[in-house]
Amino acid sequence: MLRYTLRRLLGAIPTVLLVIVLAFVLVRAAPGGPFDDERALSPEIEANIARYYNLDEPLPVQFFRYLGGVVQGDLGPSYRYRDSTVSGLIADALPISLRIGGMAMLLAIVAGVGIGIVAALRQNSALDRGVMAFAMLGISVPVFVFAPVFVLLLSVKLQWLPAGWSSTPGLSKYVLPVVSLALPQIAYIARLSRASLIDVLSSDFVRTARAQGLSQASIIRYHALKPAMLPVLSYMGPAIAVVLTGSVVIEEIFGIPGVGQFFVRGAMNRDYTLVLGIVIFYAVLIVLLNLIVDLLYGLIDPRIRNR
C-alpha cells in the first residue's frame, strides 16, 4: 500500500508539470499582447509595462520565474484587475465556489447512489424504468439548459426561490445553483450505480451467498455494496472535473462571484495571467482529488492494496 501510494504521488508530478507547461506555452503563443486593444501606447510605456510583467525576458526565464512562483503559491499579478494578484483573486472567490461545488457533489453522490440502488433492486419494474428514463434525461440535458429553465419555472413563474445572488440573504439562494449543478451528476451516478449493482448481484459470489441462505439485505450489505460502489468511486475523479466545469456556467447564470466567473470574465477580456492561474489551480486541484480517489480505491480493493 505504501508503494502504491508513493507511485501514485510520483505519477501526479509529471501531470501537474505538463499542465503548467501546456498552459504557459499556450498563453505565450497568443498572437498579440494582452494590451493591444487598448488605446495606442507609446513605445516607452509599452516597454515599461513589459518590464513590469517581466515580459522582456527570454521565454525560458519567464517560465522558470513563473514556475518558481507557482511552487510558492504565487500565480503572478492580474493583467486587468490592477493591484490584485491572481492568487489573491482566487483566494477571495474560492470559498463560495467550493461551497457550491462541494454541496453539489455531496448531493450527487447521496441521491445518485440512493436512486441507483433502489432502481437496481426493482430491476425492470415500472419504477426502475421511470427513474432510468429520467436519468437519461438528466445526462442528456446540459447544465446551462437546466439552470435557466429552473429559474424560469421556480423563480420567475412560481416565485418560490430567489433567482439573484448578491441581494438574497440566507441559504435559499443556494438551492437552485446546487441542484442545477448536481442534477446531471445525480443522473449519471444513478445509472452507474444501478448498472454496477445489477452486475455484482448477478456475479457468482452473490449466487454463492444466496446458496448460503443469506437474505437480500445481508447480501447487499456484506457482499454487494462494496464492489458495486467501486465504479462510482472511480467516477469521482471525472465527476469533480465536470462539476468544476459546470460551476463556470452556474456562476455565470446565477451571477455568483466565484472562481468560475472570474475565469469567464478573464477569458472575455484576455486577462491571460488570471486565466492561466485558474487553469493551473483547477488542474492541480483535480489531480490532487484524483489522487485521493485513487488511494481510496486502493484501500477498498484488497487486490490492489496487497500489491
Q: CB of residue 248 vs another protein: minimum separation in angstroms?
A: 7
CA distances from 215 to 128, 197, 206, 209 (A): 22, 16, 11, 9
Q: CB of residue 48 vs another protein: minimum separation in angstroms?
A: 24
Q: CB of residue 262 vs another protein: minimum separation in angstroms?
A: 12
- Does 264 engage in binding with another protein (CB under 8 A)? yes
Termini Cα distance of the chain:
7
**Touching another protein, residues 65-104 (CB under 8 A):** none
Q: CB of residue 251 vs another protein: minimum separation in angstroms?
A: 11
- Does 62 engage in binding with another protein (CB under 8 A)? no
- Does 268 engage in binding with another protein (CB under 8 A)? yes
- Does 233 engage in binding with another protein (CB under 8 A)? no
- Does 286 engage in binding with another protein (CB under 8 A)? yes
**Touching another protein, residues 107-166 (CB under 8 A):** 136-137, 139-142, 144-145, 148-149, 151-152, 156
For cell 513605445, name the residue: 43
Q: CB of residue 89 vs another protein: minimum separation in angstroms?
A: 16
| DSSP, residue by residue, 154-203 | IIIIS--S---STT--SSHHHHHHHHHHHHHHHHHHHHHHHHHHHHHHTS
The torsion angles phi and psi of 104, rounded to 5 degrees, stand at -65, -45
**Touching another protein, residues 202-221 (CB under 8 A):** 203-205, 207-216, 218
Q: CB of residue 214 vs another protein: minimum separation in angstroms?
A: 5
- Does 178 engage in binding with another protein (CB under 8 A)? no
Closer to another protein by Cβ: residue 61 or 145: 145
- Does 182 engage in binding with another protein (CB under 8 A)? no
Amino acid present at 56: D
**Touching another protein, residues 27-56 (CB under 8 A):** 27, 29-31
Give the total of residues touching another protein (CB under 8 A). Answer: 72
Among 105, 117, 120, 275, binds another protein (CB under 8 A): 275
Closer to another protein by Cβ: residue 111 or 240: 240
Among 46, 74, 199, 301, binds another protein (CB under 8 A): 301
Q: CB of residue 42 vs another protein: minimum separation in angstroms?
A: 26
